[in-house]
Structure 1
Amino acid sequence: MRLLVTGGRTGYLGRHVVRVAAAARHDVLAVGSADADVRDRAAVDALVERLRPDALVHTAYVQADPEVTATGSAHVAAAAAAHGARMVLVSSDVVFGGADQPYPETAPTDPVSPYGEAKVVAERAVLAACPAAVVARTSLILGDSDSPHERLVRSLAAGADGGLFEDERRCPVHVVDLAEALVELAGNDVRGVLHVAGADGMSRYELGRLIARRDGLDPETLRPTSRVALAVPGPVDVRLDSTLAAQVLSTRLRGAREFL
C-alpha cells in the first residue's frame, strides 16, 4: 500500500504511524507543513495528485487554529476523493461535552471547546467528501515516554507547579497501538465513525500516578486538581466506548493500566 501520512514528519502520532507502516513494508510518504499548507486547497490537491497514494492518514492539526484543523481536513478529504485515495481522519473525544457513561459512535456530538467544534466540522467535511472514509476518534495518546503528558508528569514529580485533573476522565491509548490501528484502517474497508481508544477509563491524575510508578518516581508528589473547580474550559468525562473497534480490528487497544 502506498500510504501518505500528514503530520508524518514532525507530529507525535504521525511519526509513529510512519514507523509502523514502514515496518509493515508499506510504501510510506511522510509529509508536513513544509510540503503543503493544508489551508491551501490547491497546494494540497497538487501534493496528492503528485504522490498518488492508495490511502491517506490525516493526523495533522493545530489545536489553537480551527482553520488548520477543520478547513485543512476538508481540503485533504477533497484531494483524497478527487484522486481515489482512501481517507482516514484522526479525530478526538473532545467532540463530546461530557457524560457519566462512555460514548458510543452513535452519540450526538456536543463540543464545549473551539478545538472540539473544529474537530466536528472536520469529521463532517471528511464524511461528506469521502463517504467510504473512516473517522477514528481517539483520546490521550502516550506510552513511549516522550508524549506531552508523560513529560508533564515527570516535570510535576520533580517539583514543578501545577496538578493533574482528578475529575477529567478519558480513555488513554498507547501511541503504537493507535498507529497500528490507523494503518490497519487505511488498508481495510471499515467506514464511518469508529472509536479507537484505550480499554481503561481514568482521570488524568490516576494516569499520572501510573506513569510515575512506571518511571520509578513517587506518585505521592503529584497533586490532584479539579477542572470544574478551577473553571478550566473543556469537557470533563469524555470516555469513549471502543467495543466496535475490538470487533472490527485485529489490533488490540490496551488499557493504560496494562501498558503502564
Structure 2
Amino acid sequence: MTYLIVGAGGHLGGEVARRALEQGHRVIGTYHSAPGEIPGVGWRPVDVRNRVAVRELCATVRPSVVINTAARYGDWATTADGAASVALAAADVGARLVHLSTDALHGGRPEPYGDDEVPSPITPYGASKAAAETAVRALHPGAALVRTSLIIGDERSAQVRLCIDMITGRTSGVLFADEFRCPIGVADLAGAVLETAVTGHAGVLNVAGPDAVSRAELGELVARHFGLDPMRVPVGTIAAAGLHRPGRVVLDSSRAAKLLTTRIRGVRELLDHRPE
C-alpha cells in the first residue's frame, strides 16, 4: 500500500515512515522546510496550511493511508487548519486517515480520561488540538484520532532534549513536580499508529504509556539514562510559577490495549538502561 506520512520530517513522523518501509509499503513523506534523511522515502514539500497544495498532493500520490503527525506549538494555522486540509484531502481520495492528537486538549483532573471524553482545553495549544479533532471528525468521519502523551526517544525527542537542556543549564526554567503525564516511547507509538491504520477503528483512541509520572520525575529518569546527575534537575511547581496549565492528565488506554497487539512500555522501562 501507499502511505502518505504528513510531517515525516519530525520525530514521530520519521519513525512511522521508517516502520512503514520495513513493512514493505511505499512511503511518501511530507516536509515543510527540509526533507528528512530516511532512505526509501519519497519526499514531497508541502505546507499543510495550503489546502489546495495538500489536495493536489493527495490527488497525485493516491495514498491508501494518510497519517497526519504535523502540528506546531503556538501555530493555529498549522495545527488546526492544517488538520482540516489533510482530512479533506484524504477523504477526497478515499484514503484511511489516522490523525495524531494529544492529551494537551484536556484541562487536568484527578481521574483518568477515557477515549470518549470531550476536550476541555485551558491553553491555546490545547484549543488548537481540540479544533483539529473537530475538523477531522466533520470532514473524515471514518478517521482514527490517536490521543497520546509526551513522546520519549533519544536526544531528538523534544521532551528528552528539554530535560537535558535544563539539567545541563543550557535552558533556564524548572520541571514541575505537580504536572503529571503518561510518556510513551516513539517506537511503541509508531507501531501502535501503524496498527491502528489497519484496524478500521473510527474515532478517538487513547494511546499513552502505563506510567503516570511528573515532569520532575521524568527529568530524573532522563538524567540517569544519559549519565547526568539527577540532583541537578531543576524542580518547581505550577502553583509556585503562577501558571494556568493542566496539572494531572492521565489517559486511560485500556481500549487500545484490547484493540492493538503493540506492547506499550512504561517510561521507567524505557529509561531503565543507559544507551550504548
Q: Which amino acid aligns with 2:127?
A: E
* Residue of structure 1 in register with 2:256 after alignment: 245
2:96 and 2:103 map into 1 onto residues whose CA distance is 23
State the distance in 1 between where 2:155 and 2:79 align.
26
Q: How many residues align?
A: 259
CA contact (8 A) 2:182 2:208 kept: yes
Identity of aligned residues (%): 44
Higher RCO (C-alpha 8 Å, min separation 6): 1
Q: Deviations over 1:96-152 (max 9, x none)?
A: 000002111122211001111111111111111111110000010012232122222
Any residues of structure 2 matched to 1:62-141 within 5 Å, and which?
62-141=72-151
Residue 25 (structure 2) pairs with residue 5 (structure 1):
no
Tell me how far apart the structure 2 counterparts of residues 15 and 7 of structure 1 sit (CA, whole Å): 8
1:121-200 → structure 2 map (5 Å cutoff) = 121-160=131-170, 161-200=172-211
Partner SS state of residue 30, structure 1: strand
Q: Which amino acid aligns with 1:12?
A: H
Query: TM-score when scaled to structure 2?
Result: 0.90
SS across alignment from 1:4? strand
Separation of aligned partners in 1, 2:240 and 2:264: 32
- Aligned-residue Cα RMSD (Å) equals 1.3
Instruction: Tell me what 2:21 maps to.
Output: 22
Q: The residue matched to 1:136 in structure 2 has which SS? A: strand
Partner of 2:274: none
**Cα deviations across residues 150-178 of structure 1 (Å, max 9, x unaligned)?**
22222233244332111110000000101
Specify the SS of the correspondent of 1:187.
helix
CA deviation map 1:197-227 (0-9, x unaligned) = 1110110111111111111221111121112
1:236 to 247, 258, 276: 247
Structure 2 CA distance, aligned partners of 1:33 and 1:223?
A: 34
- Specify the alignment match of 2:38 in structure 1: none
SS at match of 1:60: coil
| AA aligned opposite 1:47 | L
Q: Which runs of structure 1 show a deviation greater than 6 angstroms over 4 or more consecutive aligned residues? A: none
Answer yes or no: is 1:225 the counterpart of 2:236: yes
Distance 1:48 1:228 in 2: 46
Which structure 1 residue ranges, 5 or more long, are not aligned? none
Unaligned runs of 5+ in 2: 34-44, 272-276
Whole-angstrom CA distance in 2 between matches of 1:194 and 1:155? 32
Given that residues 163 and 225 in structure 1 are in contact (C-alpha distance below 8 angstroms), is that contact kept between their aligned partners in structure 2?
yes
Does structure 2 conserve the Cα–Cα contact (< 8 Å) formed by 1:144 and 1:175?
no
Deviates more, 1:132-141 or 1:217-226: 217-226
Secondary structure of residue in 2 paired with 1:237: coil
Structure 2: distance between partners of 1:144 and 1:151: 8
In structure 1, distance between residues paired with 2:202 and 2:147: 13
1:213, 1:219 within 8 Å by CA — same for their partners in 2?
Answer: yes
SS at match of 1:228: helix
